[in-house]
A and B are shown apart, each in its own frame.
Chain A
Amino acid sequence: NAGVMQNPRHLVRRRGQEARLRCSPMKGHSHVYWYRQLPEEGLKFMVYLQKENIIDESGMPKERFSAEFPKEGPSILRIQQVVRGDSAAYFCASSPDKESQFFGPGTRLTVL
Chain B
Amino acid sequence: QQQVKQSPQSLIVQKGGISIINCAYENTAFDYFPWYQQFPGKGPALLIAIRPDVSEKKEGRFTISFNKSAKQFSLHIMDSQPGDSATYFCAALYATSGTYKYIFGTGTRLKVLA
Contact = CB atoms under 8 A, between A and B. Distances in A.
For this complex, into which size category does the number of interface residues on chain A fall?
Answer: 20 to 34
A101 interface: yes
Contacts of B104: 35, 42-44
B1 interface: no
B99 interface: yes
Nearest to A97: B100
A91 B104 CA distance: 13
Nearest to B90: A42
B102 A45 contact: yes
For this complex, into which size category does the number of interface residues on chain B fall?
Answer: 20 to 34
Given A98-B93, A99-B32, A99-B93, A43 B44 contact: yes
B107 A42 contact: yes
B45 to A, nearest CB: 7
A103 B89 contact: no
B46 A101 contact: yes
A52 interface: no
9 contacts: A33-B102, A41-B106, A42-B104, A43-B104, A45-B102, A56-B96, A99-B100, A101-B102, A104-B43
